[in-house]
Structure 1
Amino acid sequence: MAAADMDIDFTRRNKKPRLLSDSEREKLDEYLDSIHYSSRYSDDHFEYRHVQLPKTMLKAIPKDYFDGSRGTLKLLWEDEWRGLGITQSLGWEHYEVHEPEPHILLFK
């Protein structure tokens, strides 16, 4: 399915993927074993899951991954969320952040 069919608000992303430096990635290593992946669930259109990052991990993520007006992470390109240590099969798209709990990323 094309990204255009997924109703992704591309204005909430970096214009192009902003990859982490080696030193930025090293700061995230201690959190990798604490990332929680929900079971998959679906509707008539998509399969979904949410990924819960440790709350303290947000402090180690570079500021330009955040949407200052919302106080949450931007919608991340696949190269960005994989760089944070999120591991999922191919085809997942980060489409929303749960604003009351900004450490929860929603994928479809």
Structure 2
Amino acid sequence: MTNLDEMGIDTSRRNASPRPLTDNERARLDEFIDSIHYSTRYSDSEYEYRHVQLPKAMLKAIPADYHDKAKGTLKLLWEEEWRAMGITQSLGWEHYEVHEPEPHILLFKRPLNYQPPQ
């Protein structure tokens, strides 16, 4: 498990614990899954990054308690939450920021040379 404090992830911007989607909520998001866009990976000396662009209309279908009303964006999502929404990527990625000018763009990072637990 990655240490979120070491990665600079503000866990106060997440739900206190992962909030699973109901079957009905998940069904509302299904129509958008094929339109999710994944950037290529880019890196610095510590992390590799990618951004995930959700269809703008998808934001309206995401449950209200996934949204940060103060910022007008999604909260930082737990892995269980973003995977349930239909975002698919390999292990180790952490949602660390939302691009506020474009709240449908979610920013992810993971340590360089990440190795999943055996």
Decide: shared fold, TM above 0.5: yes
Which residue does the alignment assign to 2:67? 66
Which residue does the alignment assign to 2:112? none
Which residue does the alignment assign to 1:37? 38
2: CA distance between counterparts of 1:42 and 1:15? 29
Q: After the TM superposition, which residues 77-92 of structure 1 pair with which residues of structure 2 at under 5 Å, given as runs?
A: 77-92=78-93
Please state how far the C-alpha of 1:59 moved relative to its aligned partner. 0.4
TM-score (norm. length: structure 2) = 0.90
Please state how far the C-alpha of 1:86 moved relative to its aligned partner. 0.1
Q: Which amino acid aligns with 1:9?
A: D
TM-score (norm. length: structure 1) = 0.98
Structure 2: which 5+ runs fail to align? 110-118
CA RMSD between the two structures: 0.6
In percent, how many aligned pairs have the same letter?
72
Please state how far the C-alpha of 1:4 moved relative to its aligned partner. 2.1
Structure 1: which 5+ runs fail to align? none
Moved over 4 A (4+): none
Which residue does the alignment assign to 1:2? 3
Aligned pair count reads 108
Q: Which amino acid aligns with 2:73?
A: T
Task: Give the number of the structure whose residues are more often helix, by fraction.
Answer: 1
2: CA distance between counterparts of 1:96 and 1:2? 16
Please state how far the C-alpha of 1:35 moved relative to its aligned partner. 0.1
Which residue does the alignment assign to 2:24? 23
Please state how far the C-alpha of 1:3 moved relative to its aligned partner. 2.0
Please state how far the C-alpha of 1:5 moved relative to its aligned partner. 1.0
SS of the equivalent of 2:6 reads: helix
1: CA distance between counterparts of 2:75 and 2:62? 11
Please state how far the C-alpha of 1:43 moved relative to its aligned partner. 0.2
